[in-house]
Amino acid sequence: MAMVSCTQQRQESLLRDGDHEIAESRYVKAVELFRKALAMDPASPYGVKAAYKLGFVLETYFKDYEAALLSYEEFIKNSPDKARNYGVRKRIASLQLEHLRDFAGAQKSYKLLLDESPQGAEAAEFMFKMASAAFQQNNFEESRDIYQGVVERYPASELVPGARYEIGNTYYMQERYEVALQALKQVLREHPQSKYSIEAQFLMARCLEQQLNFSEALEMYEGLEGRYFPKQVLSQRIEKLRPKVRK
């Protein structure tokens, strides 16, 4: 017991020193100290704290997302605090989706979070991000089914307009332009004031362009002037189509 107590006292001291180094913006030294504390005993209460602190510094100040992920996983492995674990698991899922481009891993992580709390405050967000991860893997049908699940299971969510837009986008990516148009029209009907209404109109014009309906596509693009950004993208589409319509 004395050795355990001595080890934990040393870990506690290293954590304090690491926190001081962070306060002084000496992040390399802080990482060194947290790693020392973690290596002494990863499963002790101070080892668990060290794993989290190390992950946070690596993520926040070094943008070393792979190393941060490993530290967070070490934290989860040894932490008995379910609430803290839940928060760290969300960080892991976010890292996988937004920085590491591990879309399969992100989809799995968000599914586990969703299954754990299907009616929680963040459930719709987890499901939306699952769909996004599937989309990034070019699994468009699976992505569409998940986005549809957001619409059906969480109809009051602010994510519903985006989910409806992305449903249309999955059809567009599959070159099913007529079906995409119908799905995107639903965004305009159901959510005319949403930011996705503008995005839907642009994608509808892209569908029309792919169908060689240049006149209607141009009309729709021109109707977006002053409302769609980035402006140069819209200008390029208009400039490309005007000669075709004049012919």
pLDDT recorded at residue 246: 79
Length of the chain in residues, anyone? 247
pLDDT recorded at residue 4: 63
pLDDT recorded at residue 65: 99
pLDDT recorded at residue 1: 47
pLDDT recorded at residue 5: 79
Alpha-carbon span 231 to 241, nearest angstrom? 16
Q: For the chain, give the percent of residues with pLDDT over 70.
A: 98
Alpha-carbon span 89 to 116, nearest angstrom? 12
Summarised one tens digit per residue, pLDDT across range 169-226 is 999 999 999 999 999 999 999 999 999 999 999 999 999 999 999 999 999 999 999 9
CB-based contacts of 109, cutoff 8 Å, min separation 6: 89, 92, 93, 96
Token couple for 140: 């468009």
Token couple for 183: 């799905």
Q: Hey, what CATH topology would domain 1-97 get?
A: 1.25.40
pLDDT recorded at residue 247: 61
Other C-beta atoms closer than 10 Å to the C-beta of 83 total 8
Closest CA to 163 of 188, 134, 189, 128: 128
Would you say the CATH fold of 158-247 matches that of 1-97? yes
Other C-beta atoms closer than 10 Å to the C-beta of 121 total 7
DSSP string, 184-238: HHHHHHH-TTSHHHHHHHHHHHHHHHHTT-HHHHHHHHHHTTTTSSSHHHHHHHH
CATH number of 101-156: 1.25.40
Q: What's the one-letter identity of residue 76? A: I
This prediction has a pTM of 0.93
Residue 101 backbone dihedrals phi, psi, to 5 degrees: 55, 30
Enumerate the domain spans of the chain. 1-97, 101-156, 158-247
* Secondary structure (3-state) at 66: helix
Summarised one tens digit per residue, pLDDT across range 139-176 is 999 999 999 999 999 999 999 999 999 999 999 999 99
Average pLDDT, the chain: 97
Q: Hey, what CATH topology would domain 158-247 get?
A: 1.25.40
Apex CA 236: angle with CA 233 and CA 240, to 5°?
Answer: 145
Are 180 and 172 in contact, with CB atoms under 8 Å apart? yes
Summarised one tens digit per residue, pLDDT across range 107-141 is 999 999 999 999 999 999 999 999 999 999 999 99
- Cα distances (angstroms) measured from residue 8 to each of 47, 48, 199, 212: 8, 11, 55, 71
